[in-house]
Structure formats: C-alpha cells, structure tokens
C-alpha cells in the first residue's frame, strides 16, 4: 500500500509538488483547496499524464478534508502569496488565520501525520501550527532552509563554473532576507573549503545574493517562486516517507540547541520515518551563531504580533 501525502493549496507551488511526487510514484496524493474545481482540474490533468510518466500514483483533487484522512504527511502551502513590496512579516496575520485552521483540520483527519509547513512567513507559521495542534517537535517541520540552501549552492556553482552536484553548502537561521545565515565556515566544493577557492569579497557577494534571492524572483515574476520551493519540499517528504535519514536544513523547534529554546529556527536535522529524528548541532563561527540567535529573537518578536 502506497503512502499518502496531502498538499493543502493547489496553486503553482502545490501543483508543482503534486507533479514531482507523481513522477516519483511512491505515494498517493491528495490536492486540497478551497477553490472549487481548481484541485479537481489539476489532479485530473496530472492523472492523464500517468501513462506517459509511468506512474500509478492516485491523485485526488478535492475541497473536502474527509478525503485527506489517514495522510502520512500533510504539506501546508495555503496562504496569501508574497507580492512586490510586501515583506514576509506583512503576511503574518493574514496567513496565521489560514494556517491555524488548516493545521487543526489536518490533525483532526490524520492524527498521526507529520506536518511540513511551507506557507510564509514560514518560521512564524510553524509557531502558529504548533500552538494550534500541540504536536511534538518531531512531527512539525518547516521548509525554508532547503530552498535558501539550493539558491546558495547554485550561486556558488555559477561563480566557480563547477557542477552544482559538487557544492555542499547550507543556509541556517530564519527564512527572511534579514535573518537567514548562509554558512561559509562549512561550505565545500568538491571537498575543498570555499574560502580556499574564492576571495572574501566574492563570497560576500554570493551570500548577499542568496539573502535577496527571493526578493529578486518576486521582482521578476510579480509573485514568489514555485519550482525550486516545490522540489525542496519534496526532498523533505522523500526523506520522511522513504526513511532516508537525510541531514537537511529545515526549521525545527529548538530545545536548547545553540542556546536557543522554544523557537523555530533553521538548523540541520535528520529526517526519517519518525519525522525530525535528530538535530545536528554543528560548530559555528561566532558571527554565524549570533545569526541563529538573531533569527530566534526575530521570529519570537513576530509571533508576539500574531492576533489570536
């Protein structure tokens, strides 16, 4: 019997996630949205592609939470998208009301599910989902570091003219321009430290572009990215449902790691069948550690603005 994944929100990102998961073929997919016809139409279109991609995955489009019952993973993408001139902080109260209701319904219909939070501002929405469901930290994780890290790796590869496969680098901290922390001290290219390959000014430029990458795309598209965020989220779902035990950058409820408590912050975590199975605490340089703590303070300050 295949695993079951529910994607809440059938927009560009949710639809892309369903597309990627269908090609992988290891799970059935429920695409849920409040807009009548949207999830049904996308699900039917994807189903028609099944014979072409060789996938027997069943895709259900629905407006009814009952169809999500028994989901192993629920990905929450629903919410207002980021628009030009809008910070993620501007979204907090708009999306908090949506995420609160969605998280509660997800757990109501799938009591054992693992939630992957995607809607922005992601760090704060993880807090909202936790407050709404009281899930233990292993069953609620945020996608932000996966996206920011793949952007970081891409820019490093472009700068050096190497394959992206040979770049091992990650972004921790928050999922905002001001709070993300691209980690330079552990960045490797073909096992060679990045600092041996590039001067500080070029590394600084890559770090700066990484921080502003989301804003760059919003300026070009008029809305947030969807392809790379979808792929980043599916990598997390893969590791959970296939019990791959991968070490991935994602937002986790910290319980003393890095001197941080009771805040969702991007760290390296092992994802497996149990969800967040372990937080990998690495030795960071003082400015990097300060960045993580700044991210924790920022998300707690943002959460204090959420109206209950």
Closest by alpha carbon to 147, among 223, 219, 251?
251
Active site residue 175: yes
Read off φ and ψ for residue 214, nearest 5 degrees: -65, -45
The rounded distance, in Å, linking the Cα atoms of 44 and 63 is 14
Check if the beta carbon of residue 215 is closer than 8 Å to that of residue 177: yes
Query: DSSP code of 237?
Result: H
Beta bridge partners of 276: 271
Catalytic residue among 19, 127, 175, 186: 175
Report the C-alpha gap between 217 and 176 in whole angstroms: 14
The CA distance from 160 to 165, in Å, is 13
Q: How many Cα atoms sit within 13 Å of 141 on the Cβ side?
A: 32
Q: Which residues does the annotation mark as catalytic?
A: 175
């Amino acid at each position: 019997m295949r695993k079951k994944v529910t994607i809440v929100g059938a927009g560009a990102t949710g639809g892309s996630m369903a597309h990627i998961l269908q090609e992988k073929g290891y799970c059935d997919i429920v695409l849920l949205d409040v807009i009548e016809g949207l999830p049904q139409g996308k699900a039917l279109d994807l189903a028609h592609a099944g014979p072409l991609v060789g996938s027997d995955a069943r895709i259900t489009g629905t407006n009814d939470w009952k169809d999500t019952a028994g989901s192993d993973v629920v990905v929450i993408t629903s919410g207002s998208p980021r628009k030009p001139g809008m910070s993620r902080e501007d979204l907090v109260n708009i999306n908090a009301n949506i995420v609160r209701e969605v998280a509660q319904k997800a757990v109501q219909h799938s009591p054992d599910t693992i939630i992957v939070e995607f809607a922005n501002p992601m760090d704060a929405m993880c807090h909202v989902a936790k407050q709404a469901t009281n899930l233990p930290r292993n069953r609620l994780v945020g996608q932000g570091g996966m996206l920011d890290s793949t952007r970081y790796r891409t820019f490093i590869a472009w700068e050096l003219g190497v394959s992206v496969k040979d770049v091992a680098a990650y972004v921790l901290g928050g999922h905002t321009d001001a709070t993300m922390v691209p980690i330079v001290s552990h960045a490797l290219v073909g096992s060679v430290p990045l600092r041996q390959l590039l001067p500080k000014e070029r590394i600084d430029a890559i770090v700066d572009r990484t921080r502003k990458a989301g804003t760059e795309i919003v300026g070009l598209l008029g809305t947030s990215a969807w392809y790379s965020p979808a792929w980043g989220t599916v990598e997390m779902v893969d590791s959970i449902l296939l019990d791959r035990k991968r070490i991935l950058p994602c937002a986790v409820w910290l319980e003393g790691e890095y001197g941080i408590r009771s805040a969702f912050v991007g760290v390296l975590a092992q994802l497996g069948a149990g969800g967040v199975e372990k937080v990998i605490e690495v030795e960071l340089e003082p400015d990097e550690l300060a960045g993580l703590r700044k991210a924790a303070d920022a998300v707690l300050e943002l959460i204090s603005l959420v109206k209950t």
